[in-house]
Amino acid sequence: MKLAAVKGITPVSTQSVEHTERELARLIIDARGGEAAHDPGVALAARDAAELAHENGAGLVAVVEHPDADPAVLVGMVVAADAPLGPDAADELRHYLEDGGTDIREVTEARTERGYPVVIAERILVTDPLRTGPPTGCQLQAVVIDPGGRSVAVFTLHSLTGRGWLDLAALLGNLLSTVDFRN
């Protein structure tokens, strides 16, 4: 799978968990400002993202930045299906996600500029179930399907704060529009 470079999305090294963690933390601190270096949540988020990315064989780990948003972490990977994906694969996935979880706020379906179907699930994350204030984070998962092929590209965008969420999601949309399964 090929992706184009998108302004505001900065990939980091996937050489090792430590490299990924270090680069994620540095980019997040750079985006939030020097005071963020004292926030223990930055190091923890960078470590968690790096470990999850490496455990799942991610090919892309990046920081997504927008001037009107707190930075977010993006993880992307290509997953091979056991059998060729049929023309209804996106519809089936969308229905599965709509019926599957209470933390999913919205499921939508779209197409990339190259015609690949995309299923998008947005989650609002709250760490304390007793909390009644604004959400403590947002997550968007986008699955780009290669119809007739055996590949899907799975992208997860995660923001710890949710500030500027729509701007961050738009940057992910720009990246999704460049997905090309043809090698």
What is the per-residue pLDDT for 129? Answer: 54
Residue 156 · residue 75 · CB < 8 Å? yes
Q: Is 61 exposed, middle or buried (0-12, 13-18, 19+ CB in 10 A)?
A: buried
Per-residue pLDDT band for 124 (boundaries 50, 70, 90) equals low
Please compute the mean of the pLDDT values over residues 135-149 and round it to a whole number.
86
CA atoms lying within 13 Å on the CB side of residue 132: 0
What is the per-residue pLDDT for 156? Answer: 95
- Residues contacting 132, CB < 8 A, separation 6+: none
Residue 170 · residue 72 · CB < 8 Å? no
Q: pTM to 2 decimals?
A: 0.89
33-49 tens-digit pLDDT: 888 889 888 999 899 99
Evaluate the CA torsion angle 142, 147, 149, 150 in order and state its sign: positive
What is the per-residue pLDDT for 98? Answer: 78
| Secondary structure of 69-115 as H, E, C letters | CCCEEEEEEEEECCCCCCCCHHHHHHHHHHHHCCCEEEEEEEECCCC
Residue 92 · residue 81 · CB < 8 Å? no
Is residue 136 over pLDDT 80?
no
66-84 tens-digit pLDDT: 999 999 999 999 999 888 8
> What is the chain's mean pLDDT, rounded?
89
Rounded percentage of the chain residues whose pLDDT exceeds 70: 90
158-174 tens-digit pLDDT: 998 889 999 999 999 99
What is the per-residue pLDDT for 153? Answer: 96
Q: Which two tokens stand for residue 117?
A: 């179907």
Rounded percentage of the chain residues whose pLDDT exceeds 90: 62
DSSP state of 180: B
Domains, the chain, with CATH or none = 9-176 (3.40.1000)
Torsion of CA 157, 163, 164, 166, to 10 degrees: 60
- Alpha carbons 87 and 121: distance in angstroms, whole number: 20
Q: Which two tokens stand for residue 11?
A: 């990939």
